[in-house]
Each structure stands twice: as C-alpha cells, then as structure tokens.
Amino acid sequence: MFVLNELKGAMGIMQHHDAITGTEKQHVTHDYVRLLDAAIEDAITIARQAFNKMIQGDALKPPILSYDRCRLNESSCHTSEQSQQFVVTVYNHLAWQVNEPIRIPVLDGNYAVYAPNGDLIVSQLVDIPEAVKRLPSRKSSATHEIVFIAHLHPLSYKNFYVTKKHKITKRNIDLSENKKRKNEFYNDINDYWKKMNEKSFIDLKAIEDNIGSFNNVYKDDVKVPEEPIFIKNGGDSGRDFKDFNIDVMKDSKSSYNPDTEQLEEIIKEARRLIEDAKHTSARGRAAVFPKLND
C-alpha cells in the first residue's frame, strides 16, 4: 500500500494547474518527471508480484519471470532487444473486449509469436522509423518492432511467448494487393511452419497437404487460374541438398507452368529428395525446408 500511495501522491501533485498545462518553470518540470517516473517504477513492483503469482502458481517456487517496464514510447526495451525468447504480458483494464496492436522493439531477425493456447499467431516485423532512431534521449539498439494484434478479453491479461528463429524463408510475399487472399495465404504458411516445427524432418504428405490448402485458397478467387502453378527449382547436391522450393505463382505468364504429368514428376523427385534427407545428418535435415513464394 505504501508503494501505491507514492504513486497516488505523485498523481496528486500532477493535478496542479501548472503541471496540467505545462506552465511551470523548467526545473519544476524536471522535478515532476522525476517524481512521476520514480512512483511508476515503484508501483510496477505490485504488478510484478501479481503476475508472478499468477504465472508460477506456487508461492514456494522462485519467480520464473521478472517483468520490466519498457520505454515503448521511444521504441526501446532492453529485455526484448537482448533476449532470444521473452514473454509479453498485456493487461486490458477495460470492461469490454479490445483488439489492440502491440509493438515490441527488437533487433532485426526472424521472430515467432505464440498465443496463450500455443498457436503461432500472425506477426510482422517492421523497421522503426528513422526519426525515432534519431531521438536524442534514446539509448536503444532496437532497429525493428514486432507487431501483432492482441485480442484481449474484458478486464483480463494475456501472455504471448516470443522467440527468435534462426531461419525463416517466407520472404518475398507481396501483400500489396488482394489483402484478404494474401492474409489467408499467410495464415496457411504459419500453420504449415507450426506443423513443421513439430517434426524432425518434412515428409512429402505435409507438402502435398499444404499444396492442397493453397489450391483451395486460390480456387476461391476468380482472378487467378483455376489450376495453381507449382514449380520446383531447388538444387540437389546429393545427400546435402540445400533447398526444396515450391513457388505458387499467381500469373501464368510470369513463370514455368507444368502440366499434370510434369507436376507428378516434380512430386516424385521431391519424394526422392526427402527420403534421401531422412538418412542424412541432422545438419542436412535442418537444411530441408521449403520456400513458399507468392
């Protein structure tokens, strides 16, 4: 309570008309900032204790997580910048459900965001505007922000697990047109990656299933050919082959358009490559992953 009283006291001082309108002298401004910042920092202790109780569920165990307050107003957060995996806890204090974009400052890389039920959710890495990086007071190495939409229930909190991934190949996805179809496509990829992560290596069935799901997405859209076009252009360098690519092209004019027979040949070849990969080293297996290009 005494910690909370400190914040109450600071908030009381901030009711002064000079604090509200900014008509205080500059050294008073600095003092107001000092008072408020210290009070907020101390009050975080209460949130920290509460969250730790909720998460560990056992008062005898030491806290698993230590919550930090980040200066998100300048896209700066020491924890998320330095950590390979971190938990984002979002508390909604409104009495209705909200969908709120959450932006977490990080270094450049590939990240996966998991919802509380363990599902991989759609996220996006966005570079921080140069004007923010130029802020004179900013001391941060973050170059990007992970952005995702948190669907929060009334008066509730949610945890999101964010982990840095070392490899990801879902690049080159042009989302500048036909957003709905593209987002469905993106969700499919995310589902596919999630499935992939659960396996030690890829089997062709997964790829074929995946092709089927793309097929359905594309069939719903009259603007693309009814038969999607798949090309395989990955290299095969014996047992240590590096890539197996599936390109889903939306424009038949722009690329190789195999007929059914050729497609079967490609699948056959892919099956052989993957069977080959099953018997190769862990490093070799790790190198087997598809590039899914729209």
Using CB under 8 A as the binding rule, whether residue 14 contacts other proteins is answered as no
Using CB under 8 A as the binding rule, whether residue 194 contacts other proteins is answered as no
Q: Which of 45, 82, 252, 281 binds other proteins (CB under 8 A)?
A: 82
Of 181 and 241, CB closest to other proteins: 181
The DSSP secondary structure of 251-286, one letter per residue, reads -GGGS----HHHHHHHHHHHHHHHHHHHTS-HHHHH
x/- mask, other proteins, residues 153-182, rule CB under 8 A, reads ------x-x-x-------xxx-xx--xx-x
Of 84 and 281, CB closest to other proteins: 84
Q: Which of 11, 14, 19, 87 binds other proteins (CB under 8 A)?
A: 87
Q: Which stretch binds other proteins (CB under 8 A): 4-12, 124-132, 218-226, 240-248?
A: 124-132
Compute the distance between CA of residue 106 and CA of residue 12 in angstroms, rounded to an integer. Answer: 35
Compute the distance between CA of residue 276 and CA of residue 280 in angstroms, rounded to an integer. Answer: 7
**Phi-psi sector, 234: left (phi>0), alpha (psi -120 to 50), beta:** beta
Q: Which of 104, 217, 224, 249 binds other proteins (CB under 8 A)?
A: 104
Q: Which of 10, 142, 152, 207 binds other proteins (CB under 8 A)?
A: 152
Using CB under 8 A as the binding rule, whether residue 200 contacts other proteins is answered as no
Q: Which stretch binds other proteins (CB under 8 A): 123-131, 224-232, 235-243, 261-269?
A: 123-131
Using CB under 8 A as the binding rule, whether residue 142 contacts other proteins is answered as no
Name the E strands within 141-293: 144-152, 156-165, 229-231, 244-249, 290-293
Alpha carbon separation from 278 to 87, 190, 245 (Å, rounded):
34, 23, 17
Tell me how far the alpha carbon of residue 48 is from its chain's centroid.
Answer: 24
Q: Which of 1, 12, 25, 61 binds other proteins (CB under 8 A)?
A: 25
Q: For residue 201, what are its two tokens?
A: 């290596």
x/- mask, other proteins, residues 51-80, rule CB under 8 A, reads x------------xxxxxxx-xxx--x-xx
Cα torsion 275, 276, 279, 280: sign: negative
Using CB under 8 A as the binding rule, whether residue 83 contacts other proteins is answered as yes
Alpha helices in 69-112 (DSSP H): 78-82
Using CB under 8 A as the binding rule, whether residue 91 contacts other proteins is answered as yes
**Amino acid symbol at 279:** H
